[in-house]
Amino acid sequence: MSGTDDPGQQQGSVVTVVVALVANGLLAAAKSVAAALTGSAAMLAEAAHSWADTGNEVFLLVAERRGSRPRDDQHPRGYGRATYTWSLVAAFGLFSAGAGVSIWTGVTDLLDPVEEEVSFTINYVVLGVALLLEGTSFVQAATQVRGRALRFGLRPWRYVTRTSDPTLRAVFFEDSSALLGIVLAAAGIALHQLTGDAVWDALASIAIGLLLAAVAIFLMRRNMEYLVGEVGDPALRERVLTGLLEHPEVDRVTYVHLEYVGPQRVFVVAAVDLVGDDTEDHLALRFRRVEADLEQAVYIEDAVLTLAPPDDEGLVPR
């Protein structure tokens, strides 16, 4: 299954992004100050992580705005794929700014370890506040994921990895990695304090960078799959097929293809046989009426119907 969604839920995704943006902006500044005062490689990695996430949330808001524009003559299937383009840019930012800086900082400190930090307490306080704010943002994203997943009888993890909503997926995985990053940073700083060896701090920075790289690569890959044309999931295909067969003008359906052209929006191509006999001109008008009826569904951006071959077997819902 791919791209399972609850159509028309984009407003909730915007709220989730705004919550994450505010949390990460505050944390980025606090972590930067702590890193400057203590010289902690792990804290600097966390600062880079939060700055990258803050920039990503801005890109995600742009994605929502650009992708929600209505279709026009130049874009008959809407602007939904712009959401995946900007989300791809955000994921690359996480990879380059977050993962790159974190790994580089850790490797640099391994080669030239910091002798002693000014205050471990500052780091613990900042990480505690970070845990609270990141946790708040994660709860917002997780609640939205859980609610949508329940509507389809899916596990939340299954839903968030397959949803066609890149904004919700990005915030969920960024917040998850942020919480794990806080744990890694705290562990590295604590081991540094206990052993007096700054290598633990540097290793925590590298671990945070590798975590961010893995998340960024996954998000980039999913957005690329939707940009090149992700096929609609079987449940949605069955819904469209059932709607076609229940239409009073449709006698038989031999082919149905769904392709995502944006979050919760699909392009439908179907081969159908209409009831009765008509001239070619009148048949084209009837096709267009059925297409317009299909496009009334909130999840169908555009529909194109063709005449079914006479020798093809008709489809039936499972």
Would residue 317 count as lying in a domain? no
- Residue 310 C-alpha from the chain's centroid: 42
Tokens 């239409």 locate to: 247
**228, 68 Cβ separation under 8 angstroms:** no
Greater model confidence, 315 or 261: 261
Together in a domain, 45 and 125 = yes
Would residue 4 count as lying in a domain? no
Together in a domain, 75 and 199 = yes
Q: What percent of the chain has pLDDT over 90?
A: 18
pLDDT of residue 6: 46
What band does 312 get if pLDDT is binned at 50, 70 and 90? confident
Together in a domain, 40 and 181 = yes
Residue ranges in the chain assigned as alpha helix (H): 10-38, 41-67, 81-93, 101-111, 120-151, 156-162, 166-195, 199-227, 234-246, 280-294
Together in a domain, 109 and 80 = yes
Give the tens place of pLDDT for each residue, 13-22: 677 788 788 8
0.85 surpassed by pTM: no
- pLDDT of 122 higher than 60: yes
* Across 6-15, 112-121, 155-164, 250-259, least confident range: 6-15
Give the tokens for residue 95: 């990879």
pLDDT of residue 24: 83
Q: For the domain that residue 248 is a member of, what is the CATH number?
A: 3.30.70.1350
- Residue 194 C-alpha from the chain's centroid: 39
Together in a domain, 200 and 239 = no
Together in a domain, 207 and 291 = no
Together in a domain, 204 and 72 = yes
- pLDDT of 10 higher than 60: no
Would residue 285 count as lying in a domain? yes
Q: What percent of the chain has pLDDT over 70?
A: 93
Stretch 24-32: mean pLDDT:
87
Q: Which amino acid is at 222?
A: R
Together in a domain, 34 and 150 = yes
For the chain, the domain total comes to: 2
What band does 115 get if pLDDT is binned at 50, 70 and 90? low
Would residue 316 count as lying in a domain? no
Together in a domain, 271 and 122 = no
Residue count (the chain): 318
Greater model confidence, 56 or 213: 213
Give the tens place of pLDDT for each residue, 262-287: 888 889 999 988 887 776 668 888 88
Would residue 273 count as lying in a domain? yes
Together in a domain, 119 and 79 = yes
DSSP assignment of 21-88 equals: HHHHHHHHHHHHHHHHHH--HHHHHHHHHHHHHHHHHHHHHHHHHHHTSPP-SS-TT-STHHHHHHHH
Pick from 192, 227, 262: which residue ends a domain?
227
- Identify the sign of the CA torsion 37, 42, 45, 47: negative
Would residue 1 count as lying in a domain? no
Together in a domain, 201 and 243 = no
Pick from 227, 242, 262: which residue ends a domain?
227
Range of the domain at 139: 10-227
Which residues have C-beta within 8 Å of that of residue 273, sequence separation ≥ 6? 250, 251, 252, 253, 254, 307, 308, 310, 314
Together in a domain, 143 and 287 = no
Give the tokens for residue 4: 């399972």
Would residue 315 count as lying in a domain? no
pLDDT of residue 318: 67
Would residue 314 count as lying in a domain? no
Pick from 182, 198, 227: which residue ends a domain?
227
Give the tens place of pLDDT for each residue, 126-165: 999 989 888 888 888 899 889 888 887 788 898 898 888 8
Longest pairwise C-alpha distance within the chain: 87
Q: For the domain that residue 168 is a member of, what is the CATH number?
A: 1.20.1510.10
